[in-house]
Amino acid sequence: MNLGARRMSNVRADDEAFEALFRSEYARVVGIANRVLADSHEAEDVAQDVFIDFHRLHSASADYAPAWLHRAAAHASLNRLRGARRRLRREVAQAAEEGERTMDPQKQVEVDEDRRRVREALARLAPKPAAVLVLRASGLSYAEVAGALGVGIGQIGTMLRRAEVALRKEVTRGTSD
């Protein structure tokens, strides 16, 4: 096989690997972003940006690809949340409108308000505690959370406990302000 043909073959293999990676991880990456943003449309935007960035930098067959995507999804969505606090009320309301149309209106108002307070509190947490909470709440195992954050699996339990305490504290602080 000449050099040109080999390159074409490599490109094809890389494209196929990327598509396979996308199909296996996209829903999970969207899920992580949605957990943070409470907006499925915005979560899809974040997830697609994450995949595009990954493609530009890495081989889709890299062992660390899922861990990288999970971490990037958490950080990118948390960053967007921090930059969008002022828009939070509208966004959360929009998510509720699309996801829970059958709910009682009074109950809906309460859910919206709780969700807004929690996201504001999440945005105030340091990046790592916020990420560990979001990844775990998105269904990742301890090993997957550890892989995504580049820490030992033995640290995850402690990190989660501390992050949970920090989040509840921030939610309480936000309520009493």
Partner 1 sequence: MVDDPDVGREDAAHLEGCADCQTLFKSISDDALSVASMLAVPDARVDVTRGYDRVRSARASSPRLGFRFPALMPRSRPMVLALAATFAAIAILAVVAQDFKTNIQPNSVTPVPITVADMQALTLLGNYGTVTWTKPPNLQVVSSAADAASVAGGMQPPVVTNLPKGVFPNITYAAMPQAVAVFTFSSDKAAAAAGQQGKTLPKMPAGMDGAKLTVTVGPAVGEIFGDLKQGSSASDISLPLIVGKSAAPTATSTQVTVKQMEDVILAQPGISPELKAAIKAIGNPSSTLPIPIPVAFTTSRTVTVQGVQGVALGDNTGVGSGVVWVKNGVVYAVAGPIKQSDAIDIANNLK
Chain residues binding partner 1 by CB under 8 A are 19, 22-23, 26-27, 30-31, 34-35, 38, 40, 43-44, 47-48, 51-59, 61-64, 67-68, 71-72, 75-76, 78-79, 95-96, 98-100, 114-115, 118, 122, 126-128, 133-134, 137, 141-143, 150, 156-157, 160-161, 164-165, 167-168, 171
**152: CB partners within 8 A, 6+ apart:** 146
Enter the tokens of residue 110: 């309460």
Cα dihedral 49→54→56→61 (10° resolution): -140
Cα dihedral 86→54→135→111 (10° resolution): 30
Task: Name the minimum Å distance from CB 106 to partner 1.
Answer: 18
Enter the tokens of residue 128: 């790592």
Task: Name the minimum Å distance from CB 89 to partner 1.
Answer: 15
Enter the tokens of residue 55: 């493609």
Task: Name the minimum Å distance from CB 151 to partner 1.
Answer: 9
Closer CB to partner 1, residue 86 or residue 131?
131
Task: Name the minimum Å distance from CB 33 to partner 1.
Answer: 8
